[in-house]
Homo-oligomer: A and B are copies of this chain.
């Protein structure tokens, strides 16, 4: 499963000692080909971690032979030394596996502003390489966890080909071009341009629309590697759908494991004048702390939805807005609608529908409620 579901890939996950806890913290994913095509999308945060700066360069070549990922440290805001460390990490992987360092992508996650313990990371690469296996996908997925409570994997089976992937992420979970660390693999026989197109189309409507806490990471990385080992070249539409399905699945897993959350909130914006309007409104609703608290309290406080919509530049008339919570239209024409006591909010999933009555476009943004547990997790220690 995970990144080793597709043929042509090996992976490993080990404890290199980067984390004080002794938990797994180093993952390696290797593409044995015959092809090493790859595409990647990275955070749009202008403060980018060293591994993002490195991997962006690597991906420009469209070829990735291996990906090394560590948890226990983001290697972000670490200056020239941090970049040297990323470079040394790629070189070490290249040396151990007999590859070109320029084809080794690097991803890191953990606390910002701390240098990685290279005396532990570099030897760990050899250990991980020795454990590479076609069944190593789960261990790799486990090794990239930080505050994640579960590891996240997903697989799509095509006709003779497969797309699989792993993801980590539980906080600092918001847009960018992508969200958190994700590695997707496929044995489909496709070139880098096709991978890039499929990946961008998929992330735009999946990871980009997961907005747990409005905080954009410095390290977000999503990679898609193709080995061609299936010798099958699927048609673009089906392949794109497969990538989107796996991204959607992993995105949902991120939301369900978001730090401290007790509710998964699906914000649907419908009848917008444009998709951009729908996304802007959805994100404004998803980021409204007061609303997120109300949902936590199982309070269908639609006034906070309207208040959030009102801060956007989307096309709408205040007296034509309609809002449903779990299917009950509690706000009609910008005013009091159906009885809010009809709204059943006992379950983990809550659906907020905002009808802008301004067009035919729509978008879905996923978010979480705001809880005392979120505050605790993010105030009790540095992460």
Contact = CB atoms under 8 A, between A and B. Distances in A.
Interface string A17-57: 00000000000000000000000000001111000000000
Interface string A279-310: 00000000111100111110101111011111
A356 to B, nearest CB: 12
A172 B290 CA distance: 7
B378 A307 contact: no
Interface in A158-190: 171-172
Interface in A204-238: 213-218
A294 B213 CA distance: 14
A375 interface: yes
A10 interface: no
Contact of A115 (B287, B299, B336): B336
A290 B215 contact: yes
How many chain copies does the complex carry? Answer: 2
Interface stretch (A73-81, A95-103, A266-274, A357-365): A73-81
A303 B379 CA distance: 14
Given A47-B318, A297-B380, A307-B218, A213 B77 contact: no
A331 interface: yes
B299 A381 contact: yes
B381 A370 contact: no
B112 A214 contact: no
B216 A310 contact: yes
A333 interface: yes
A376 interface: yes
Question: Which secondary structure dominates chain A's binding surface?
Answer: loop
Most buried by B among A46, A312, A375: A375
A157 interface: no
A82 interface: yes
A371 interface: yes
A293 B374 contact: yes
A170 to B, nearest CB: 12
A88 interface: no
A311 B113 contact: no
B307 A217 contact: yes
A380 B372 CA distance: 12
A74 B357 CA distance: 24
A309 B214 contact: no
Given A77-B336, A172-B307, 12 more contacts: A47-B306, A48-B310, A76-B306, A77-B331, A77-B334, A82-B335, A111-B303, A112-B301, A113-B306, A215-B304, A218-B307, A294-B378
14 contacts: A45-B311, A47-B306, A48-B318, A79-B319, A82-B335, A111-B303, A214-B289, A215-B288, A216-B310, A216-B311, A218-B307, A289-B374, A293-B374, A294-B379
Interface of A: 45-48, 74, 76-79, 81-82, 111-115, 171-172, 213-218, 287-290, 293-297, 299, 301-304, 306-312, 316, 318-319, 321, 331, 333-336, 370-372, 374-382
